[in-house]
Amino acid sequence: MTRVIDAVDVIVSSPGRNFVTLKITTSDGLVGWGDATLNGRELSVASYLRDHLAPALVGRDADRIEDTWNYFYRGVYWRRGPVAMASIGAIDMALWDIKGKAAGVPVYQLLGGAVRDRILTYTHATGWDVPELLDSVAERRVQGYRAVRVQSGVPGLDKVYGVTKGAAVYEPAGRGVGPAEEVWDTSAYLRHAPVVLEAVREAVGPELKLLHDVHHRLNPIEAARLGKALEPVDLFWLEDVTPAENQMLLRAVRQHTTIPLAIGEVFNTVWDAQQLITERLIDYIRVAVVHAGGISHLRKIFALAEVFQVKAAPHGPSDVSPINMSASLHLGLSTTNFAIQEFMGYPAQVGEVFHSSYRYDDGYLHPGDEPGLGIEFDEAAAARFPYSPAYLPIARDLDGTMKDW
């Protein structure tokens, strides 16, 4: 019997932050869920799905996941880019969810079964200054984390990526229409970051894995200088040292430092990542399930990476929903070269809308053994949290020139 797609619904909700959720219903009554969230551009993905893909999706065979992926990728002349790929990513996730539910098995079983018992995870520690940062790291260790991303303020700057002043939880997107502005000072950052990271390493000892995100701010020679300066800190990785466009320039960074590099959270396809992987200009590929076309396409990216001894370490900020997080964990359990999963955590209201079966224990995550992805989305609860616009900030240099945020 062919399992036909009967209905496609797109739900934009805001339980603490905005999410776009895709619901696919089949002729035999199964429901699959997909995450289509693109931070600060939510409505464009919702429209792409609702207005352009959904009409063509209704009536298709729900079991033909790979064919449907190609139908919306190769079958579309204007392809690639975050809006299109997040839409395909959501469809792909929802169809894997349905396939798992139809078979009565968790998705990781359909991907080849578990290759490990649990997935190492890292979370964020933030502090405006070193004492605050050390408190935050200590708190994360009490929670059991074995790997922590550390970000701090920079003297002379008011706002810095990854940190808030005071006790507020860091959330990159700010409510309101249009982006907030930040001022950035590369020299101050380059002077300050090594001092902070050395102080953290000194305080925590050798074992805790430490990570740091540069968030696309440096040019290659600045990145090389920072990498060299941080070698004694023994970082697990240094992330997004340069903007992702000029990939061959990463060769310069590699000539100067052996610091492990992680890149890829803004990539949408294997073609965005192929030079970095095949020239081995990175050690970790950071693509998120939603933003790079779903489980089917991430498997291909990770397979290419495996050949070149590059490890998978998907993006897991608060702006990918628990559906994406769950899909990432099913991949994590079944992918040999999967290294670590970022887990930033969510605002409290998220738990009212997304009921997830993945679990955290002692620094590790597991997707759980519910059929499919193991996430149920409560539409009635979601209706209590209507969308309101939120945008990522922009950054300017000290003289007012636009900078990569």
Secondary structure of 170-218 in the HEC alphabet? CCCCEECCCCCEEEECHHHHHHHHHHHHHHHHHHHCCCCEEEEECCCCC
Q: Candidates 7-15, 140-148, 177-185, 314-322: pick the segment binding ligand CS2 (CB under 6 A).
A: 314-322
For residue 303, what are the CA distances in angstroms to 5, 285, 307, 338?
Answer: 29, 11, 7, 10
Among the listed residues 124, 192, 212, 215, the single catalytic one is: 215
| Cβ distance to Mg ion smaller for residue 92 or 213 | 213
Instruction: Report if residue 35 touches ligand CS2, rule: CB under 6 A.
Output: no
Instruction: Report if residue 215 touches ligand CS2, rule: CB under 6 A.
Output: yes
Find, among 366, 362, 320, the residue nearest to 108 by Cα: 366
Which does residue 105 bind out of Mg ion, ligand CS2, none, counting CB within 5 to 8 angstroms by kind? none
Q: What dihedral do alpha carbons 170, 172, 178, 179 form, nearest 10°?
A: 100
Are 264 and 250 spatial neighbours (Cβ–Cβ below 8 Å)? no
Which does residue 317 bind out of ligand CS2, Mg ion, none, counting CB within 5 to 8 angstroms by kind? ligand CS2
The Cα–Cα gap between 25 and 5 comes to 6
Amino acid present at 238:
L
Residues 6+ apart with CB under 8 A from 296: 65, 66, 69, 92, 96
Q: Which 369-398 residues touch ligand CS2, going by CB under 6 A?
A: 392
Q: Which 209-248 residues touch Mg ion, going by CB under 5 A?
A: 213
List residues bridging with 148 in a β-sheet. Answer: 123, 210
Residue nearest to Mg ion (CB): 213
Which does residue 172 bind out of Mg ion, ligand CS2, none, counting CB within 5 to 8 angstroms by kind? ligand CS2
Q: Which 123-152 residues touch ligand CS2, going by CB under 6 A?
A: none
List the strands of the sheet with 31-35, edge to edge.
Answer: 5-13, 19-26, 31-35
Size of the site for ligand CS2 (CB under 6 A): 11
- For the chain, how are helix, strand and coil distributed in percent, rounded to 5? 40, 20, 40
First-residue to last-residue Cα distance in the chain? 50
Task: Note if 189 is an active site residue.
Answer: no
| Cβ distance to Mg ion smaller for residue 3 or 217 | 217
Interacting residue with ligand CS2 among 35, 42, 97, 213 (CB under 6 A): 213
Q: Which 334-363 residues touch ligand CS2, going by CB under 6 A?
A: 342, 344
Instruction: Report if residue 319 touches ligand CS2, rule: CB under 6 A.
Output: yes
Task: Note if 192 is an active site residue.
Answer: no
The Cα–Cα gap between 122 and 166 comes to 22
Q: Which 254-293 residues touch ligand CS2, going by CB under 6 A?
A: 265
Instruction: Report if residue 244 touches ligand CS2, rule: CB under 6 A.
Output: no
Which does residue 269 bind out of Mg ion, ligand CS2, none, counting CB within 5 to 8 angstroms by kind? none
| Cβ distance to ligand CS2 smaller for residue 213 or 370 | 213
Active-site residues: which are they?
161, 215
Residues near ligand CS2 (CB under 6 A) are 39, 172, 213, 215, 265, 315, 317, 319, 342, 344, 392
